[in-house]
Amino acid sequence: MRQPSTGTHPPRWPRYALKTAALVAIAVTMTSCSNPRVPNAAPTAVRSTPSPSPDDVTPSPTYTETEPADESPTPQDEPTTEEPDTSAPDTAEPADDQDDDSEDSDSGANDSGSSLFGTYSVTIEGTAGSTNFSRDGTLKIVETITTIATTNGVNPLDACLVSGFPGAQPEVGAIWFGSNSACDPDASAADIDMGTVGLDGDTVTVEPDERVAAGLANNFTVASGLLACPYAPVSGSMQLTVDADGGIDGSIDLVGYGGAFCGQTRYRADISGHR
């Protein structure tokens, strides 16, 4: 049988109040354990930092240790005194080509054609007009005769071929032909430039000058007798080559004009001989 309350005992808390108080106490205890330094601190947000890409990474400098230079003093070389060279200086010998040049100049084998100068006894064989012939003659190669007042330039030398006397004694193949009328003094003494001369080594080429052909200083005949026409060379050439032994070979091929009555004819022949 329950005893009636006398009012001296403390009031009793309902059960749900006790449970609520216990839960609050547990929560406070857990919070203080998770953040012991800052009680009741609010949770902070964690900021994530993106990882740098390989291209943005700056390589760290690499340092290489080098050994210190050897600072020990280097012994200096003692100065040397060179003795003067008392030997006689070498004397350069003249080159062989200089000797060759001097020999050439002494012998006259140069562009002036002096090695070709001389009088040659020759045989002339060919055709004058339409008649064959063979006769002896003289061929001369001399120094330049006329150097001024020429109509065709100064010749490097002069050359002439003489066989017979076509102007006074006409014969088949008789001829006077040269670059200057004074080439053969027995034929003419006047210094008339009558042709051009080309010189190529040991070969001489003579061509008639038509402008002075009418004087008949150069002429040839193709027949005998008083009625034979003299022909003045107006075109063609004579070419001659001299060898080292003094032999001469060549040819002559000329077209001559004998006036209105005789017209033109041709003189062709081979020339050979020696000095």
Q: Considering the chain, what percentage of its residues have pLDDT values greater than 70? A: 58
61 versus 210: the higher-pLDDT residue is: 210
What residue has token string 């100064």?
Answer: 154
Q: What is the pLDDT of residue 10?
A: 52
Average the pLDDT over 37-44 and give the result.
Answer: 47
What local confidence, expressed as pLDDT, does residue 1 receive? 47
- The pLDDT tens digits for 153-193 are 899 999 999 999 998 999 999 999 999 988 877 766 678 89
Tokens of 217: 């200083």
Give the strand order in the sheet containing 219-220. 195-200, 203-208, 232-242, 247-257, 264-274, 118-128, 131-142, 158-163, 175-178, 219-220
Q: How many CB atoms lie within 10 A of CB 209?
A: 18
Hey, which of 12-16, 52-56, 237-241 has the most confident mean pLDDT? 237-241
If you average pLDDT over residues 52-81, what whole number do you get?
52
Residue-averaged pLDDT of the chain:
77
Residues contacting 115, CB < 8 A, separation 6+? 107, 108, 109, 202, 242
DSSP per residue, 134-152? EEEEEEEEES----SS-SS
pLDDT tens sequence across 78-113: 555 556 555 555 555 555 545 444 444 444 444 567
For residue 207, give the nearest of 159, 269, 265, 273 by alpha carbon: 159
Q: Which residue has the higher pLDDT, 210 or 71?
A: 210
Residue 145 pLDDT level (bands cut at 50, 70, 90): very high
Q: Distance (Å, rounded) from C-alpha 258 to C-alpha 219?
A: 9
Whether the per-residue pLDDT at 246 is higher than 90: the answer is yes
- b/e for 50-83, b at 16 or more Cβ within 10 A? eeeeeeeeeeeeeeeeeeeeeeeeeeeeeeeeee
Q: Which residues of 119-147 are buried (b: 16+ CB within 10 A; e: fewer)?
A: ebebebebebbeeebebebbbbbbebbbe
> Region 23-44: what's the mean pLDDT?
54
To the nearest 10°, the Cα dihedral for 36, 42, 46, 47?
-130
Asked if 155 contacts 193 with a C-beta cutoff of 8 angstroms, the reply is yes
Averaged over 29-33, what is the pLDDT? 56
In sequence order, the 6+-apart residues with CB closer than 8 A to the CB of 13 are none
